[in-house]
Structure 1
């Protein structure tokens, strides 16, 4: 049994904190008095400004259930002998095995050491300490809990670091994807805050919210929240002076002005240097402890290097945006030359919708969207008098129009860029039919690339539904009826079903991008 020699913290040393967080301690013992004495001995316990939240279990089975409900138990004080002679040992195996919990510190307590010899238990079970109830006085219990909580705290900091590092590695491997910018910075904020032992709030603040600006514009003097956690989690895009005020805002301005790290009692602002813009800020608040010289050196290195990564990602994004804009502008030029109104914009969105519903991955959707505007690039070779002819084309004119497929392919085929290669396929094969009766190669079924099958359907839908100088617009019902009649003939049956099931989305796209050409 435990000694009545209880230890209480001196009142002068006790720090009172309202609504502080706690360390969870699970007491597993079939003797109610053991629970009572343990709670009494640790009633005034405080470690790192956190008290103890006690959870009680009186059987091994009850302890197992509690571990399935709580994944943040810091310590379990575990009796060996309860409903069976080895119930506690079974709980220890359950914690590490079935519950897959390798963080909770397990302290075995036994009143009958002979039934579970210490050497055997320590070697064969993943526990962290072994105590006899008779030797565990209040003083020793206090000491054991303090030492064990330090161990648990350090393990959780390491785990937090691992998660942050894992996120950064994952984001780094995907640096050139569209979403990598947000993921990369979010991982950096998490990693830095965890290295400091955890923070309540964090924000990455920059003047480059929308990426690099045109060369003839001055660099913006405004700073915005790019990403954050805690109080900054939902403030992306907000100006700096609207999310911080008083001393915190003054510290940010000081960090920008002096290009340094500004430390305060509960927060810090780190300036991140940049060659391409005014730099950025890392703001961290709710620091858990006074920062050491090592912490400050880490912050200096981190703030110097994080901006390099950010600038590189911005540059990649700028290259992607430039490539996208060039293709889109070329498509618009083609559209204007052919008198097609906003055919390209609608086609692109319809193709994207069909591709997403079909199950294409985001990378494929991105390529498809950029390639679609070039699907009719071969029509540059077709005389305008034929393209804009009001009436029906004769057989000779139809043959001339058909040459645009091969011409467009020849124009683009030698590129090694995925977008241009995809555009070459679209230019050549978007007139192929599912049943093999299309042109120029008579492909059928899945011999036709999915990009081409999607583009073919989107192209015909919009060509029929929109008004042209040589035809009136068809009502939506009539267009969908015709497409239904060509299911399995001209069009991929699966894509036809998707289009018919998404009538409202089609109508929304057409409504958002009406033609505005004179006379239409």
Structure 2
């Protein structure tokens, strides 16, 4: 290591002695922490980073640190399954430019464009900021002599906010691709009951939730008399039974007993989606409404809710097609 020991004496000193936690942010129990990788050959830097950021919270989530003491070790970590949001990366480690060489390995070799990389160096003259920012895909550059606790907090908030936006966009694109790739024609050809079961399975898969719910079609105002077309999880053996046998308590009962028209309901642990069916063209009773109820192990964010609604619309179309095919096969 060629970096002088004195360089780290300034690391994380806080000129105003301010609190090192995110302003106005509190940890929310149950939310997974942000994963942060510290890459530095000085154990004291790891210890000080953890100490300074121990109270940090952003969007209700704290930090979970992973330590690597060389660029090679960091690359091994990045090849794993860790959802790492940010890397605090030293420049000088096993070689004078080990940290810089790691950047294209992460971006190009691993194809990871989402993780935010903050370079920290004790020798800014050896790796000038303008050259580094222009030549390497990094998101921030800090000399250790200027990196106070407050500046580290600010840089971390900026990095995590950007990472969150990138991951949200990625999830939206991936979700749209999965919805577009659903086997809706196959669902329709398999019949209405099988289509209902497939709808539950595929909805759970797209939302990355357990398949634990039911699907039914409701006619008229007597909602509890509607019969379940398919069930999964706790409703596994309920197909053919009326809703009244399972909808006595909980969010499903709330949705069914609400006055007026059925509407979408989202809670932290369940969702109920409804969609009107073009029943007149399928030989079914007019005014039919498809309803899908799914229990959740974690709340859905706005993107997941929009994907669920888009998928429900397509499922309803597949169900109407299944009804029409059944009419053709058995017109009686």
Q: Same fold (TM over 0.5)?
A: yes
In structure 2, the partner of 1:54 is: 65
Give the secondary-structure state (helix, strand or coil) at the position aligned to 2:34: strand
Structure 2 CA distance, aligned partners of 1:322 and 1:138? 70
Post-superposition shift, 1:3? 3.3
User: Which one of the candidate residues 104, 113, 133 is aligned to 2:144?
Assistant: 133
- Relative to structure 1, is the Cα distance of residues 184 and 151 closer, same or farther in structure 2, using a 3 angstrom cutoff? farther
Distance of aligned partners of 1:225 and 1:92 in 2 relative to their CA distance in 1, 3 Å threshold:
farther
Does 2:314 correspond to 1:314?
no
Contact 2:212 2:294 in 1 (8 A): yes
Cα distance, 1:93 vs structure 2: 1.3
The answer (yes or no) to whether the contact 2:39–2:90 under 8 Å persists in 1 is: yes
| Alignment-derived partner of residue 221 in structure 1 | 225
Q: TM-score, normalised by structure 1?
A: 0.49
Determine the structure 2 residue equivalent to 1:447. Answer: none
Match of 2:257 in 1: 254
Match in the other structure for 1:94: 105
CA distance in 2, matches of 1:8, 1:243: 51
**Distance 1:120-1:89 versus aligned 2 partners, 3 A rule:** same
Q: Who is 1:418 aligned against?
A: none
Deviation at 1:311, TM superposition (A): 3.2
Deviations 1:239-282 (A, max 9, x none): 76677763413322135853223465776544322343333145
More strand by share: 2
Matches within 5 A, 1:152-171: 152-171=163-182
Cα–Cα, structure 1 residues 84 and 20, in superposed 2: closer, same or farther, change >3 Å?
same
2:185 to 176, 194, 200: 176
Select which of 125, 128, 136 maps to 1:114: 125
CA deviations 1:32-62 (Å, max 9, x no partner) are 1111111111001112222111110111111
Secondary structure of 2:185's counterpart equals coil
Partner of 1:383: none
Q: Contact between 1:200 and 1:287, CA under 8 Å: does it hold in 2? A: no
Q: Structure 2 unaligned runs (5+)?
A: 1-7, 190-194, 280-287
Runs of 5+ unmatched residues, structure 1: 194-198, 213-217, 327-520
Find the aligned partners of 1:160 and 1:247 in 2 and give their Cα distance: 30
Tell me: higher relative CO, structure 1 or 2? Use CA pairs within 8 A at least 6 residues apart: 2
Post-superposition shift, 1:66?
A: 0.8
Deviations 1:382-423 (A, max 9, x none): xxxxxxxxxxxxxxxxxxxxxxxxxxxxxxxxxxxxxxxxxx
Tell whether 2:105 aligns with 1:105: no
For each residue in 1:276-335, what CA deviation from the matched residue of structure 2 results, as whole angstroms up to 9, or x when unmatched? 33331455754367x7xxx8xx86x975x6555323312333455567779xxxxxxxxx
Q: Which residue of 2 aligns with 1:149?
A: 160
Secondary structure, counterpart of 2:289 in structure 1: coil
- In the alignment, does 2:282 pair up with 1:271? no
CA drift of 1:169 comes to 1.1
Cα distance between partner residues in 2 of 1:159 and 1:89: 26
1:178 and 1:311, CA in 2 relative to 1: closer, same or farther beyond 3 A?
A: closer
Q: Map of 1:44-443 to 2, 5 A cutoff?
A: 44-171=55-182, 174-178=183-187, 181=195, 205-208=214-217, 221-222=225-226, 224=228, 226=230, 235=235, 238=238, 246-254=249-257, 258-262=261-265, 269-276=272-279, 277-281=288-292, 283=294, 286-287=298-299, 303=309, 308-318=313-323
Change (3 A) 1:273 1:102: same
2 CA distance for matches of 1:204 and 1:272?
A: 16
C-alpha RMSD of the superposition: 4.1
**SS of aligned partner of 2:225:** coil
Correspondence 1:34-53 to 2 at 5 A: 34-53=45-64
Normalised by the length of structure 2, the TM-score is: 0.73
- Alpha-carbon distance between aligned partners in 2 of 1:244 and 1:17, rounded to the nearest angstrom: 31
Matched residue pairs, number?
Answer: 299
Please say if residues 24 and 52 of structure 1, whose CA atoms lie closer than 8 Å, have aligned partners that are also in contact: yes
Tell me: CA distance 1:9–1:261, structure 2 relative to 1, closer, same or farther (3 Å): farther
Which piece of structure 1 moves more, 241-250 or 79-88?
A: 241-250
Structure number with higher helix proportion: 1
Q: Which has the larger radius of gyration?
A: 1
Deviations along 1:153-201, one digit per CA (max 9) or x if unpaired, are 1211111111110011112xx432258946666565666x6xxxxx977
